[in-house]
């Protein structure tokens, strides 16, 4: 019963519901994406993502220096049922416009990654 109570406590905040709605629509998000899309501080975005992670609603996954938060691949039966209902409830709700911001952030990240890889491929200066 405790984990179910923790799940519903996590869902009792509008910011966390919005974050989950964004994850349902756009897939995994990192702190900087949540921060920019929602117009909140980095510490506030981190705190809400951590709360969702601790409740089991999201899991974190490291990609180099970036930590992405995504839905669990194999949630338990209670959490799976909550996520199905939540996805349906949030499907038609208005959310902050995220696509242009996400495209910009992710393109910049890929460009940085490509530049970093190009530097690694160059022979060392003697």
In the chain, what are the domains?
Answer: 2-121 (1.10.10.10)
Q: Give the C-alpha distances (Å, rounded to integers) separating 41 from 45, 65, 92.
A: 6, 19, 26
Q: Which helix (H) or strand (E) holds 38?
A: helix 31-38
The string of pLDDT tens digits covering residues 37-64 is: 999 999 999 999 999 999 999 999 998 8
Would you say 56 and 72 are in contact if contact means Cβ atoms under 8 Å apart?
A: yes
The string of pLDDT tens digits covering residues 70-110 is: 999 999 999 999 999 999 999 999 988 888 999 999 898 88
- Tokens representing residue 17 in the block: 């519901």
Q: Round to whole Å and give the CA distance between 95 and 74.
A: 26
């Amino acid at each position: 019963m405790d984990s179910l109570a923790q799940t519903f406590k996590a869902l009792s905040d509008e910011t966390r519901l919005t974050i989950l709605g964004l994850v349902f629509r756009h897939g995994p998000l990192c702190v900087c994406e949540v921060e920019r899309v929602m117009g909140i501080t980095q510490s506030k975005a981190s705190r809400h993502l951590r709360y969702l992670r601790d409740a089991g609603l999201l899991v974190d996954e490291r990609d180099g220096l970036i930590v992405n938060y995504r839905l669990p691949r194999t949630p338990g039966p209670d959490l799976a049922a909550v996520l199905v209902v939540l996805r349906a409830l949030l499907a038609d709700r208005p959310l902050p416009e995220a696509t242009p911001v996400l495209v910009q952030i992710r393109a910049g990240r890929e460009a940085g990654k490509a530049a970093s890889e190009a530097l690694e491929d160059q022979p060392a200066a003697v």
